[in-house]
């Protein structure tokens, strides 16, 4: 059996605005095993991005339990959360989130710098990551000199350079045309085949079908699950 990386039990997220309670997530039970590719689908406003933010330690649940790699998240201090996020979680965003005045190389290197990694190790990891996504020849370019598809490849390189336990992708093809979208999905498929654990929010049914398992959200609840956990 593959080991469990993520376990959510009865997780909920409530937003309070002007004395109105909005239940963004309710009664979420979810287990993700090592090496799995999970797609999260559902209509706009169903809680997909909220769930991904909680999984990525960018937000906190209002209730329930959440374990990463067997450790309860609730017990982590803000500094510990930041450390886990930097060391164990790789993010791929719809809007790329590259820093415009840093080169491609520097963008990929930045999270490793925050981790306190030695310069020689950083250089090796950045070069390997850019090579994996076919962007080595653009390492000295600025993000503004790249196409959208190239920027997303750099964002993928940044996410994988630190060898994270989990890759989180939020609509990774949302700002790309179909050709570049397919190229990025091929890249994600290759990363998954190489052993990466991937959790992806997508609105595209064709891309969701590439995953080993799909969870459908509606009004903050899991209403359907297809596929099976990694054995």
Give backbone dihedrals phi and psi of 4, rounded to 5 degrees, phi first. Answer: -80, 125
**Mind listing the pLDDT tens digit for each residue in 158-176?**
998 988 889 999 999 888 8
Q: Where are the domains of the chain?
A: 4-227
Q: What is the pLDDT of residue 135?
A: 93
Q: What is the pLDDT of residue 229?
A: 57
> Which residue from 226, 223, 229 is spatially nearest to 26, judged by alpha carbons?
223
Q: Confidence band (pLDDT; 50, 70, 90) for 201? A: very high
Q: What is the pLDDT of residue 2?
A: 72
d(CA 124, CA 42): 39
Check pLDDT > 90 for residue 220. Answer: yes
Q: What is the pLDDT of residue 231?
A: 39
Q: What is the pTM of this model?
A: 0.89
Q: What is the pLDDT of residue 1?
A: 61
Q: Confidence band (pLDDT; 50, 70, 90) for 74? A: confident
Average pLDDT score over residue span 6-33? 92
Tokens, residue 193: 């085949």
**Mind listing the pLDDT tens digit for each residue in 78-104?**
889 988 888 889 999 888 899 999 999
d(CA 92, CA 171): 8
Sort strands 20-33 and 37-41 into parallel, antiparallel or unpaired: unpaired
Listed as own residue / partner, the contacts of 48-53 with beta carbons closer than 8 Å and 24 or more positions apart are 48/201, 48/217, 49/170, 49/201, 50/13, 50/24, 50/25, 50/220, 51/25, 51/201, 51/217, 52/168, 52/170, 52/199, 52/201
Check pLDDT > 90 for residue 17. Answer: no
Check pLDDT > 80 for residue 35. Answer: yes
Q: Confidence band (pLDDT; 50, 70, 90) for 202? A: very high
Check pLDDT > 50 for residue 230. Answer: no
Check pLDDT > 90 for residue 129. Answer: yes
Computed over every residue of the chain, the mean pLDDT equals 91
Give the highest mean pLDDT range of 34-43, 111-120, 183-192.
Answer: 34-43
Check pLDDT > 90 for residue 141. Answer: yes
Check pLDDT > 60 for residue 209. Answer: yes
Q: What is the pLDDT of residue 32?
A: 94
The matching CATH number, chosen from 1.10.3720.10, 3.20.20.80, 3.40.50.300, 3.20.20.70, for 4-227 is 3.40.50.300
d(CA 222, CA 48): 10
């Amino acid at each position: 059996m593959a080991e469990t990386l993520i376990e959510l039990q009865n997780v909920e997220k409530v937003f309070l605005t002007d004395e109105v309670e909005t239940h963004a997530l309710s009664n979420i039970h979810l287990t993700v095993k090592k090496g799995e590719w999970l797609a999260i689908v559902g209509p706009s406003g169903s809680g997909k991005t909220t769930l991904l933010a909680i999984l990525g330690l960018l937000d906190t649940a209002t209730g329930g339990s959440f374990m990463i790699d067997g450790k309860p998240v609730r017990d982590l201090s803000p500094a510990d959360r930041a450390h886990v996020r930097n060391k164990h979680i790789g993010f791929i965003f719809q809007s790329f989130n590259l820093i415009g005045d840093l080169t491609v190389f520097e963008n990929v290197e930045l999270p490793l710098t925050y981790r306190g990694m030695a310069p020689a190790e950083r250089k090796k990891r950045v070069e390997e990551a850019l090579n994996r996504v076919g962007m080595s020849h653009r390492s000295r370019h600025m993000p503004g000199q790249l196409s959208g598809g190239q920027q997303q490849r750099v964002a993928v390189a940044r996410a994988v350079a630190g060898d994270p336990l989990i890759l989180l992708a939020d609509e990774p093809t949302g700002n790309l045309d179909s050709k570049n979208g397919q190229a990025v999905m091929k890249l994600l498929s290759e990363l998954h085949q190489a052993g990466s654990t991937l959790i992806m929010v997508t609105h595209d049914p064709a891309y969701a079908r590439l995953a080993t398992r799909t969870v459908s959200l509606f009004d903050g609840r899991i209403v359907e699950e297809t596929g099976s956990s990694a054995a």
